[in-house]
């Protein structure tokens, strides 16, 4: 998913560059360029969250954990991952509910008339995967203890 998000972001940058050049050189930007960026950026960024967490790319303050030793540090990391997983699951659930409400209202973007709910619905898989990553990393120390790893 992170690669997909990266490709979408590269596409957004390319489209923005073409639109900017079109606006400055020929007074002809891409119609709805701002709407496209708004509707694709959030789903693309949500694709990065799980990979970031799984690769320990999250911002952490280890002032206390570093002084407690490796066992307590692992426990605190597991607790943080559990909380992150639960919050990500909550966000995925509420974002999905919001997408359903937007679908029912039939709201569309101003210039392109794209359905707004679709952009919001595309964010849900990223948060669902982040929830799975958080819950996996929360359970991992217990799995490792049982297997003796």
> pLDDT digit string (tens) for 126-135?
999 999 999 9
Please check the confidence at residue 119 and state whether its pLDDT lies above 80.
yes
Question: The pTM is what?
Answer: 0.89
The pLDDT value given to residue 71: 81
Please check the confidence at residue 58 and state whether its pLDDT lies above 90.
no
Q: Give per-residue pLDDT as tens, 30-41.
A: 999 999 999 999
Considering its fold, how many domains does the chain have in total?
Answer: 1
DSSP string, 32-52: THHHHHHHHHHHHHHTTHHHH
The pLDDT value given to residue 97: 98
Averaged pLDDT for residues 64-89? 88
Q: Where does the chain show beta strands of DSSP type E?
A: none
Q: What domain range includes position 93? A: 2-147
């Amino acid at each position: 998913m992170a690669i997909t998000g990266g490709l979408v972001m590269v596409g957004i940058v390319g489209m923005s560059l073409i639109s900017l050049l079109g606006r400055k050189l020929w007074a002809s930007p891409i119609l709805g360029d701002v709407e496209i960026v708004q509707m694709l950026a959030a789903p693309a960024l949500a694709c990065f969250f799980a990979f970031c967490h799984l690769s320990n790319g999250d911002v952490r303050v280890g002032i206390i954990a570093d002084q407690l030793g490796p066992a307590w540090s692992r426990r605190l990391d597991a607790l943080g991952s559990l909380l992150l997983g639960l919050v990500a699951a909550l966000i995925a659930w509420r974002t999905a509910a919001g997408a359903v409400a937007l679908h029912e209202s039939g709201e569309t973007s101003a210039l392109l008339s794209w359905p707004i709910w679709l952009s919001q619905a595309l964010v849900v898989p990223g948060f669902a995967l982040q929830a799975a990553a958080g819950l996996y990393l929360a359970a991992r120390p217990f799995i490792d203890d049982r297997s003796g790893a």
